[in-house]
């Protein structure tokens, strides 16, 4: 198999790659480019890309240009979620400013999507579905507003002669509502622009966040009538830090349901690895703390397989646990500091993508992994899904879809808080 996957690193501020002392320094940026080339640039079936927030990280896109030789594409989120979280209003002026930033610096620009949900109570956690309800009555209006946002996004891109491609974020609560959403959006966008869309991202806000909902989105994506100029459907998966969430997409690549499909996925899990004490190797995530231990020996040896760090394991441990300000108090530059920490993060990504590819290239390996999750039969039968009837049969079977962990968004909101509780 030669399917192309794209790993999109987000949360790059944790890696300090946008810091002027790194991106703006000739030596440090050369160190990072060398590491990118050795660790993640075209790892077999994977391409490596970077993501920034065009609203809250508006300077990042310009700074990322220095890494262009080793980065496939630059993705720019709209920042809509952050604006709302900050209690601010998304104005037309703010949208245009984001579109202009995407036009100048990005290859992929996520759209502003109007989310069709009703919130009851103070529920700010995106994984908490208890106080979130699907707004069926407002669904069409939200979709059409999103479509008009994309139309305006195209207009700004054209004004700047930009090659940036808008990505459509789809929202729905079931197969029919996702299909309606794509229909309403395409009706708002000029027909000649339909094949200029970069791809789709399947939103979870109105459907849910469980394993079952992940599989629903993976199947529904195959039915969406959006293709680019090459006839390819590019599906972007939002916030994937665990291999489990990729399984249905890989199965649909392997069984032929996905035809002319490219998969990209973004994650902050690995970019935050130094701060959170996580490292991916040997097919699993290793958790470590600040104290020196055998884990540091193992991680050091693993990184050294690809990158000559030029320091011993004790210095590796010291740099991993020293912030840049403290480092500069006793060092004249950040050369070694950025090399060690970036190599560590990129090797974690390298190991993760290699594991993904091992599973991509072997259904047997995928089922071994599913067996560890105690879901081998459920995923094995998912290989038989080739159309809507087949998916509905799998979904409604109490021993298949019925056994998957589910966290759905309910279709109807209660009349009051008393009804909710």
82-111 tens-digit pLDDT: 777 777 889 999 999 999 999 999 999 999
Tokens representing 219? 């199947």
Residue 171 CA to its chain's centroid (Å)? 16
Tokens representing 46? 């994977």
Cα-based distances in Å from 279 to 273, 289, 416: 6, 11, 45
Cα-based distances in Å from 85 to 54, 75, 89, 125, 133: 16, 21, 10, 10, 18
326-337 pLDDT per residue, tens: 999 999 999 999
The predicted pLDDT at position 257 comes to 97
pTM of the model: 0.93
CATH topology assigned to domain 5-274+375-409:
TIM Barrel (3.20.20)
- Identify whether the C-beta of residue 210 lies closer than 8 Å to the C-beta of residue 408: yes
The predicted pLDDT at position 42 comes to 62
Tokens representing 375? 């879901």
Does the pLDDT value for residue 1 go beyond 50? Answer: no
- Identify whether the C-beta of residue 246 lies closer than 8 Å to the C-beta of residue 252: no
d(CA 259, CA 261): 5
d(CA 107, CA 76): 8
The Cβ-side half-sphere exposure at 325, using a 13 Å CA radius, reads 0
The predicted pLDDT at position 146 comes to 97
233-246 pLDDT per residue, tens: 999 999 888 999 99
Strands (E), 29-106: 46-53, 74-77
Closest CA to 73 of 165, 159, 153: 165
Which pLDDT band, with edges at 50, 70 and 90, does 413 fall under?
low
Q: 3-state DSSP: the chain helix, strand, coil percent, rounded to 5?
A: 50, 15, 35
- Identify whether the C-beta of residue 350 lies closer than 8 Å to the C-beta of residue 306: yes
Residue 50 zone, left/alpha/beta (φ > 0; ψ -120 to 50; rest): beta
- Domain boundaries, given as residue ranges, for the chain: 5-274+375-409, 275-349
Q: What is the mean pLDDT of residues 126-154?
A: 90
170-182 pLDDT per residue, tens: 999 999 999 999 9
Which spans in 224-307 are helix H? 247-254, 273-276, 294-304
55-66 pLDDT per residue, tens: 999 999 999 999
Q: What is the mean pLDDT of residues 108-116?
A: 95
16-32 pLDDT per residue, tens: 999 999 999 999 999 99
The predicted pLDDT at position 418 comes to 56
Quick one: what percent of the chain has pLDDT higher than 90? Answer: 87
Residue 386 CA to its chain's centroid (Å)? 25
The Cβ-side half-sphere exposure at 78, using a 13 Å CA radius, reads 26
Query: Within 10 Å of residue 74's Cβ, how many Cβ atoms?
Result: 23
């Amino acid at each position: 198999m030669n399917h192309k996957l794209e790993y999109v690193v987000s949360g790059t501020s944790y890696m300090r790659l946008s810091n002027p002392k790194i991106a703006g320094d000739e030596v440090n940026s050369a160190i990072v480019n060398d590491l990118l080339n050795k660790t993640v640039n075209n790892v077999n079936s994977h391409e490596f890309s970077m993501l920034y927030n065009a609203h809250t990280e508006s300077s990042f896109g310009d700074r990322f240009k220095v890494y262009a030789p080793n980065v496939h594409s630059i993705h720019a989120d709209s920042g809509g979620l952050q604006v709302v979280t900050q209690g601010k209003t998304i104005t037309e002026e703010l949208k245009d400013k984001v579109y202009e930033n995407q036009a100048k610096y990005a290859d992929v620009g996520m759209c502003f999507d109007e989310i069709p949900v009703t919130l009851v109570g103070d529920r700010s956690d995106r994984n908490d579905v208890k106080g979130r309800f699907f707004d069926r009555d407002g669904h069409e209006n939200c979709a059409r507003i999103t479509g008009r946002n994309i139309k305006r996004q195209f207009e700004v891109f054209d004004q700047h002669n930009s090659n940036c491609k808008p990505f459509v974020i789809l929202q729905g609560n079931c197969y029919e509502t996702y299909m309606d959403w794509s229909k309403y959006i395409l009706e708002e966008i000029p027909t000649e622009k339909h094949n200029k869309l970069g791809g789709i991202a399947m939103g979870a806000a109105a459907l849910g966040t469980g394993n079952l909902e992940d599989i629903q989105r993976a199947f529904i994506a195959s039915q969406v009538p959006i293709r680019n100029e090459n006839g390819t459907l590019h599906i972007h998966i939002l916030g994937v830090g665990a291999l489990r969430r990729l399984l249905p997409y890989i199965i649909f690549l392997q069984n032929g349901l996905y035809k002319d499909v490219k998969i990209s996925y973004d994650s902050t899990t690995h970019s935050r690895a130094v701060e959170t004490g996580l490292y991916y190797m040997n097919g699993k995530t290793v958790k470590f703390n600040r104290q020196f231990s055998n884990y540091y020996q193992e991680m050091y040896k693993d990184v050294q397989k690809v990158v000559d760090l030029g320091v011993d394991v004790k210095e590796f441990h010291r740099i991993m646990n020293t912030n840049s300000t403290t480092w500069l108090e006793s060092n004249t530059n950040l050369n070694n500091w950025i090399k060690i920490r970036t190599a560590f993060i990129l090797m974690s990504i390298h190991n993760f993508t290699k594991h993904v590819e091992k599973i991509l290239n072997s259904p047997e390996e995928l089922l071994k992994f599913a067996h560890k999750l105690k879901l081998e039969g459920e995923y094995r039968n998912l290989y038989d899904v080739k159309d809507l009837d087949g998916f509905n049969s799998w979904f409604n079977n109490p021993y298949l879809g019925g056994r998957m962990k589910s966290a759905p968004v309910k279709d109807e909101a209660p009349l009051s808080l008393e009804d909710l509780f």
